[in-house]
Structure 1
């Protein structure tokens, strides 16, 4: 299905269907800690679409819904409108908890948006999210992704440069830990040091870095992968020194990363994905340890570049040298711990 927002690679089901693989190690329990649900013009990805992807041979026990501007309230104070996203995701979670849709517990954890630039006043919004989540609400994502390169900027978000350092943002951020909430960090690789400073200033707040820190590869960053990698690696290694920070291994199917999977004549297989991603994935695992790393699908955003089943096969190939304990952490344990998920026995 094509979609209107050109910032994302269009999802072409017929193209994806050209390459299929049987699931490797199909009994390995997986928690997908990063996916979205939405109903946008030309692009619907709701529970039926999610189930069609998660039923591709891998053992997906549960998922975590991540903020994506879905189902905000149409009325009421602007600051409170994102509560609608938590209400929506909790409804999907309740549907899956009924067992009518199989063993998967979709949206077992929920991360939505609250404007942390409101400062201390954001506490009222956070408390409303907690009530709406019915025990499933876990944290906030306030997107900080900013760069001077226009090609990488998502038109849906316009955070100020250096937002993580602003006093009003930090006053809002300070409200998370007292309420037992975590912070979902989405930014680009030149901004990783800003997150390190934030993590050091708030060591009691659990933080998870999305999409391997957003290594950029288009616009002025195109063709610079070998030069950029050491800077990304050094920033990630320094960030790993903050014990309150975990990292999600995925999100590299977006156009901004410059891998170009979506422009190939044929969809990539898991071997090709694993080979392209190995330097990033293995660097992160070595720096943070498996106990602070979790594989993530970032679907349906990354679906423009590869299918769900192929993605998880690539992750399993990347984890081939890991111990049984490390594999358990990478595919489910870290996510279950970070998002405090209580699931039926695997």
Structure 2
């Protein structure tokens, strides 16, 4: 827990502040000086959902406002969440196709702004359908007009404090389910990567899946999140060491890549969301460094990529300060290592050759 807030921290989910309350919280922050403003960034993980009348929303105009905060965001990868845009009728299995249709409609080509929003798209499909999911994947690829790059299925589950606060968790042990694994194999057969979010308590299940499906490129969201709230707060050191050992084991599977981000989610236990004002980049970088160090030491920069996870991470920091924090953290790395973290790994993972060329050109490579 960071200094400057109550000693007793109550976890209220990963988006405890409604969007309007969150905007008021950020409005009190001082102006941000953008570090290394020319450094190209491919934001490989963000969401879009909701309407202004909803408690939580993040629309295209909200994303563009954040992207325009000063960093050189050359493009983004849209990642599914919250059943945004799902079809309201028709076959249940095909309803997630609506999310891809929505994003394609909102980001027509060619885009006039310098940031290619949703250059790649990661959709959702019910992988518990097993081999029957192949039909859904074909429909989603058609809807994506060449931009669908992966399928995400969030399996993050824990039976403690999180279960008492969040009542929309997936069933436990999905990664070991035979039908689910058949679905994952279909994702690979469709030429897509499989993306998932797990907690540190599920690392062993992901290891088993990676071994069973070595042909599948698996992207781990949010550092295989080590839980830092509730009962886990009392054993933070042991949790970190167990997570660190798990990350090392995961890195031995060459078909795995990891997204460095999501650290602004309250579940990590930093409690930045409890501060009177959002933290600055230095405070963020210092707090996040042990987690970033662990992943980069294990996976190498060639298999790590920075993500914003916006707007969820906005519960702890602004878009400008988040990228400033990553820049501060990585300042001592080589030019190639930074390029990997900020755009190259994402470009290779999501097969975005045009974005790679744009990034390399901006770097003078």
Q: Deviations over 1:311-333 (max 9, x none)?
A: 00000011112110000000000
Residues paired across the two proteins, number: 339
Kindly indicate whether the alpha-carbon contact (under 8 Å) linking 2:13 and 2:267 is maintained by their aligned counterparts in 1: no
Q: How does 1:5-84 map to 2 (within 5 A)?
A: 7-10=14-17, 11=19, 12-17=22-27, 18-40=29-51, 41-68=54-81, 69-84=83-98
Is 1:99 matched up with 2:111? Answer: yes
Which of 231, 239, 244 in structure 2 is aligned with 1:228?
239
Deviation at 1:21, TM superposition (A): 1.8
Q: How does 1:156-171 map to 2 (within 5 A)?
A: 157-171=168-182
Take 2:49 and 2:167, find their aligned partners in 1: how far apart are those partners?
14
Which of 191, 208, 215 in structure 1 is aligned with 2:219?
208
Deviation at 1:62, TM superposition (A): 0.4
Kindly indicate whether the alpha-carbon contact (under 8 Å) linking 2:163 and 2:169 is maintained by their aligned counterparts in 1: no
Take 2:314 and 2:350, find their aligned partners in 1: how far apart are those partners?
24
Which of 266, 271, 277 in structure 2 is aligned with 1:260?
271
Residue 137 of structure 2 corresponds to 126
Residue 336 of structure 1 corresponds to 347
Residue 283 of structure 2 corresponds to 272
Residue 116 of structure 1 corresponds to 127
Kindly indicate whether the alpha-carbon contact (under 8 Å) linking 1:145 and 1:153 is maintained by their aligned counterparts in 2: no
Residues 164 and 153 of structure 1, relative CA distance in 2, 3 Å threshold: farther
Q: How does 1:260-339 map to 2 (within 5 A)?
A: 260-339=271-350
Deviates more, 1:314-323 or 1:13-22: 13-22
TM-score, length basis structure 2: 0.90
Residue 9 of structure 2 corresponds to none
Take 2:308 and 2:212, find their aligned partners in 1: how far apart are those partners?
30
Structure 1 residue runs of 5 or longer lacking an equivalent are: none
TM-score, length basis structure 1: 0.94
Residue 85 of structure 1 corresponds to 99
Q: Deviations over 1:133-192 (max 9, x none)?
A: 000001111111111114257747432211100111111111111110111110111101
Q: Deviations over 1:6-36 (max 9, x none)?
A: 5413242232131332111000000000000
Q: Deviations over 1:91-111 (max 9, x none)?
A: 2231xx3333x2110011111
Q: CA RMSD in A?
A: 1.5
Residues 198 and 73 of structure 1, relative CA distance in 2, 3 Å threshold: same
Deviates more, 1:33-42 or 1:78-87: 33-42
Take 1:121 and 1:153, find their aligned partners in 2: how far apart are those partners?
34
Deviates more, 1:145-154 or 1:255-264: 145-154
